[in-house]
Amino acid sequence: MPVAALMEKVAGKLSDRIVQLYPACKVGILVGSGHNGGDALVVARELHFRGYEVQVFSPFSRFKDLTATHLQYAKSLGIPCVEDLQSCDLIIDGLFGFGLTREIEDPILSLIHQVNTWQIPLISIDLPSGLETDTGRALGTAIRATHTLCLGLWKLGLLQEPALEFVGKAELIDFDIPLADIFAILGESPQNQRVTSTWAMSALPLERPASTHKYKMGHLLLICGSERYAGGALLTGLGGRASGVGMLSIAVPNSLKPMLSSHLPEALVIGCPETESGAIAQLDLDLTAFDAIACGPGLTLEAADIVRQVLDSDRPLVLDADGLNALAKLGAETLKTRQAATILTPHLGEFKRLFPNADLTCRATAVRAAAAATTAIVLLKGARIAIANPEGELRINPESTPALARGGSGDVLTGLLGGLLAQQIAAQSQISLLDMTQTAAWWHAQAGILAVETRTELGVDAHTLTQFLIPSIAAHQKN
Ligand X SMILES: NC(=O)C1=CN([C@@H]2O[C@H](COP(=O)(O)OP(=O)(O)OC[C@H]3O[C@@H](n4cnc5c(N)ncnc54)[C@H](OP(=O)(O)O)[C@@H]3O)[C@@H](O)[C@H]2O)[C@@H](O)CC1
Told to check if 470 binds ligand ADP by CB under 6 A, we report no
- CA distance linking residue 414 with residue 392, whole number of Å: 23
Closer residue to ligand X (CB): 37 or 253: 37
Cβ–Cβ < 8 Å for 15, 43? yes
- CA distance linking residue 246 with residue 213, whole number of Å: 8
User: Taking the alpha carbons of 402, 403, 405, 410 in that order, is the dihedral positive or negative?
Assistant: negative
How far does CA 297 lie from the centroid of its chain?
A: 21
- CA distance linking residue 475 with residue 479, whole number of Å: 7
Per-residue buried b or exposed e for 36-66, using 16+ beta carbons within 10 Å of the residue's own CB: bbbbbbbbbbbbbeeebebbbbbbeeebbeb
In angstroms, the Cα distances linking 118 to 24, 33, 86, 113 are: 20, 23, 7, 9
Q: Which one of K ion, ligand ADP, ligand X, none is in contact with 408 (Cβ closer than 5 to 8 A by kind)?
A: ligand ADP
**In the range 26-65, which residues lie near K ion by CB under 5 A?**
36
Region of 51 (left: φ > 0; alpha: ψ -120 to 50; beta: rest) is left
In one-letter notation, the amino acid at residue 268 is L
Closer residue to ligand X (CB): 123 or 319: 123
**In the range 120-159, which residues lie near ligand X by CB under 6 A?**
125-126, 151
Cβ–Cβ < 8 Å for 314, 342? no
| Residue 411 assigned ligand-binding role | yes
- Least Cβ distance, residue 100 to K ion (angstroms): 9
Q: Which one of K ion, ligand ADP, ligand X, none is in contact with 478 (Cβ closer than 5 to 8 A by kind)?
A: none
**In the range 217-256, which residues lie near K ion by CB under 5 A?**
none
> Contacting ligand ADP (CB under 6 A), which of 25, 301, 340, 405?
405
Q: Which one of ligand ADP, K ion, ligand X, none is in contact with 98 (Cβ closer than 5 to 8 A by kind)?
A: ligand X
Alpha helices, DSSP H only, in 77-168?
108-115, 164-167
In 3-state terms, what secondary structure has residue 234?
helix
> Contacting K ion (CB under 5 A), which of 11, 125, 195, 326?
125
Q: Which one of ligand X, K ion, ligand ADP, none is in contact with 64 (Cβ closer than 5 to 8 A by kind)?
A: ligand X
What is the edge-to-edge ordering of all strands in the sheet holding 90-94? 53-57, 26-31, 90-94, 122-125, 147-151, 169-173
> Contacting ligand ADP (CB under 6 A), which of 385, 387, 394, 440?
385
DSSP-assigned letters across all residues of 82-93: -S--TT-SEEEE
- Least Cβ distance, residue 148 to K ion (angstroms): 8
Question: Per-residue x/- marks for ligand ADP, 432-451, CB under 6 A?
Answer: ------------x-------
- Among the residue ranges 166-174, 240-248, 249-257, 409-417, the one whose residues contact ligand ADP (CB under 6 A): 409-417
Closer residue to ligand ADP (CB): 58 or 466: 466
**In the range 338-357, which residues lie near ligand ADP by CB under 6 A?**
347
Residues that bind ligand X (CB under 6 A): 6-7, 10, 32-37, 39, 64, 96-104, 108, 125-126, 151
Residues that bind ligand ADP (CB under 6 A): 321, 347, 381-383, 385, 400-402, 404-405, 407-411, 413, 444
Binding residues for (6S)-NADPHX: 298, 347, 411
Residues that bind K ion (CB under 5 A): 36, 93, 124-125, 129
